[in-house]
Structure 1
Amino acid sequence: MKFILLCIALFLNIQANETKGAQPPPSLVKTLKVKEGYANSLQNYVGTLYYDRNSKLASDSSGVVSKLYVKEGQIVKQGDILLKLESSILEAKLKAKQATLDSFLAQQTKQQKDLKRAEALINKKSIAQSSYDNTYYTLEALNSEIDSHKAELLSMKIELQKKSIRAPFDGVVVKRDVDIGEWVAVGSSVFNLVDPKSIEARVNVPSKLLDTLYNGQKLQAMIEKKDMEVIVKTIVPLADKASRTFPVKLSFKSDKNLIQGMRIDVKVPTLKKEKVLLVPRDAVIKRFGSFVVFSVADGKAMMIPVSVINYTQSQAAILAQGLKVGMSVVTKGNERIFPNMPVVEKAD
């Protein structure tokens, strides 16, 4: 009986040692103290998504639509042919012009040989100067004729290229304005092509808030109930006389599910100041779709949800329950730690 109890004790001791050895070592993190400060409070403004690259393709040539290669909603690559206009007569004229040019080129070759023989004979004074001059100027006339035919041929080739309308960039055909058999005039709209990757946003903001915004500024926004970060791309210096607002263009990471016309809600800094907690920007990260910071308590990481009020170049103004001035927040190493994970603080 004693032997059995001894075996059980040894087994439990081995298990305890193995479990203890399996625990990961504490993760080294850098921390900084939370400070108190003031930041501009935020107000929600509603904007709209739009495609920055949105081309209404027009025809450079006139004619009847003979072939259509795409339909609405189709993805195309730059250079893809979208449609062709009837060009059989132009192609026949081009072949005829090419044949005429080939004939003149053959005459040019013969005349060049005649000129070389004439040069040899004139040097020997075996022919009259007038005979040499006649050969020389005949070749010059042929060269001019050939240049003229080449220019006409090039013009016809360019015109033939215009009979095919190609995609100017990678995108999606969102509208088609013509069908097979329709007559297209020069300048007529044929397709509407957009680049889904160029999706941006535009929001109209009161002109009094001009001083609170700057190019490159990061703002918090929501699209289709999804939180995301947007960047001020351009502040258009043209206010609307009636509403006294000016448009602000915003860029953000593209998403294939976002399309033109969708609503965006943007948190814009106002002139009003409110008391906030100030932490380094690197302390605020996203976990499970929300903004959080990690503090350290009793040697373990403690995850605290936060609301971001504003950003500066180096700090984030936040509000958070459970976070107080003087507490430490993790600034480096927070991307690899989890709640209740053992950590070792190293003041930054």
Structure 2
Amino acid sequence: MRILFLLMFMCFGLFAQDKVTEATIVSQPIQKGKLQAQTSFLGTLHFVNASKVASQTSGVVEKINFKIGDSIKINASLAQVNADLLQKEIQSKQAKLKQAQYIHERQQKELARYKNLLKSESVSLQQYESIEYEQKSQYSNILALTSELESAKMELSKKNIKAPIGGIIVDKMINKGEWINVGDPICEIVDTTSAEIIVDVPSTMLTHLKNGQEVGVIIEKKHYRGKIYAIIPRADTHTRTFPVHLHVENDGSFVDGMATQVLLSSGGVIEGNMVPRDCIVEYLGTQSVFVVRDSKAYAVPVEVLSMQGENAIVRGNLKSTDSVVYRGQDRLQNGMQVRESTINLKNPKK
């Protein structure tokens, strides 16, 4: 019985291994094509939006609701400053306002009574005007007390320091029990959802660039699409280069200060093997594409010469009879058995 179980287990293992070593893919023949010639420049990635959160009030830090590395949402409570004295002050102002309103209500009734007495000439005009003046003065007092109460409540809301933006806490500048003043920083937040790349280019490149232009970006050997949004018309006095800013969508792997490779149009046209840009992957630390030869997938190292839209021109040991894999390439191994998918997937744009 034990031998039979062992044989069944080995057979199942071999069957499972066979299933793993065959992958379903979608491929298309390599084509010759033309794209605009491009030059590669080094750039630096930065997160666009960062905030050093400052306190708008003074007092003793009573509670801290964050630590470095926390992901927080906009308007999240970051810290609480002690507000005991301010709350007592608000209670006192509320009582004074209530008292002033009672007095004003009594004065209104008194003014109405004096008005009737004035008609019957039971009181003098001077007496009536004196009561009227006191009533108006008390109304102004109510307005002043109301304003003071609203200001105190606004000050109370500042005791709860909230996040002006959502993001990651990258620095912490306060500790519980410390006294902070107005304007003292408590933490720094970086919004990681919005990233930009700054690349410095010579003046000869500026005629080929424009705002809104899509460019290819390579970060840690992964390919991204970037879009130019600002070309700064002021050169660095030392390098005589001009900064170009472009947006790039963060896939969750970005960190501030990363080195990037940006492919910018340099004029002219380049010809070569055109493949879908999505088929370019990092395999064993090298940019590669997988080609199908005799029902097997083989990784071929390539150099990206130009990348625009959905396509790229690459240079490598590619044959005219090769088909390049553009679906399912992320899970392939060199020499793995493959079969074409029977699902009618949409071909990449050409």
**TM-score of the alignment, normalized to the shorter chain, above 0.5:** yes
SS at match of 1:230: strand
- How far off is 1:48 after superposition? 1.8
Q: Does 1:77 align with 2:55?
A: no
> Matched residues in 2 for 1:37 and 1:258: separation?
32
> For the structure 1 residues 77 and 342, does the alpha-carbon distance in structure 2 shift closer, same or farther, using more than 3 Å as the test?
closer
Q: Does 1:244 align with 2:240?
A: yes
**What's the CA shift string for 1:101-142, capped at 9, x where partnerless?**
111011111212222233333344443222221221111110
> Matched residues in 2 for 1:194 and 1:110: separation?
57
Aligned match of 1:286: 278
Q: Does 1:174 align with 2:166?
A: no
- How far off is 1:306 after superposition? 10
> Matched residues in 1 for 2:193 and 2:34: separation?
39
> Matched residues in 2 for 1:289 and 1:317: separation?
12
> Matched residues in 2 for 1:113 and 1:224: separation?
81
> Matched residues in 1 for 2:280 and 2:33: separation?
27
> For the structure 1 residues 79 and 275, does the alpha-carbon distance in structure 2 shift closer, same or farther, using more than 3 Å as the test?
closer
SS at match of 1:127: coil
Aligned match of 2:222: 226
> Matched residues in 2 for 1:342 and 1:225: separation?
30
> For the structure 1 residues 182 and 38, does the alpha-carbon distance in structure 2 shift closer, same or farther, using more than 3 Å as the test?
closer
> Matched residues in 2 for 1:72 and 1:145: separation?
48
> Matched residues in 1 for 2:319 and 2:210: separation?
32
SS at match of 2:161: strand
Aligned match of 1:108: 104
Q: What is the root-mean-square deviation in Å for CA atoms of aligned residues?
A: 3.5
2:33·2:313 contact (CA, 8 Å) conserved in 1? no
> Matched residues in 1 for 2:263 and 2:106: separation?
80
> Matched residues in 2 for 1:308 and 1:123: separation?
100
Aligned match of 1:276: 271
**What's the CA shift string for 1:71-109, capped at 9, x where partnerless?**
111122221111122221222122111211111011111
1:199·1:259 contact (CA, 8 Å) conserved in 2? no
Q: Does 1:152 align with 2:148?
A: yes
Aligned match of 2:290: none
SS at match of 2:187: strand
> For the structure 1 residues 339 and 170, does the alpha-carbon distance in structure 2 shift closer, same or farther, using more than 3 Å as the test?
same
1:40·1:270 contact (CA, 8 Å) conserved in 2? yes
**Correspondence for 2:190 among 178, 185, 194:** 194
- How far off is 1:241 after superposition? 0.5
Q: Does 1:260 align with 2:260?
A: no
Aligned match of 1:42: 39
SS at match of 1:252: strand
Aligned match of 2:50: 54
Aligned match of 2:298: none
- How far off is 1:202 after superposition? 1.8
Query: Aligned partner of 1:40: which letter?
Result: A
- How far off is 1:186 after superposition? 2.1
> Matched residues in 2 for 1:108 and 1:278: separation?
89
TM-score with structure 2 length normalisation? 0.69
Q: Does 1:63 align with 2:62?
A: no
- How far off is 1:270 after superposition? 2.7
- How far off is 1:200 after superposition? 2.2
Query: Aligned partner of 1:41: which letter?
Result: Q
SS at match of 1:196: strand
- How far off is 1:37 after superposition? 6.3
Aligned pair count reads: 280
- How far off is 1:318 after superposition? 4.1
> For the structure 1 residues 68 and 263, does the alpha-carbon distance in structure 2 shift closer, same or farther, using more than 3 Å as the test?
same
Aligned match of 1:205: 201
Aligned match of 2:332: none
Aligned match of 1:19: none
Counterparts of 1:290-309 in structure 2, within 5 Å, are: 309=306
- Structure 1 unaligned regions, length at least 5: 1-33, 292-304, 324-337, 344-348
> Matched residues in 1 for 2:270 and 2:250: separation?
34
- Percent of counterpart pairs with the same letter? 30
TM-score with structure 1 length normalisation? 0.69
2:93·2:145 contact (CA, 8 Å) conserved in 1? yes
SS at match of 1:231: strand
SS at match of 1:195: strand
> Matched residues in 1 for 2:221 and 2:32: separation?
31
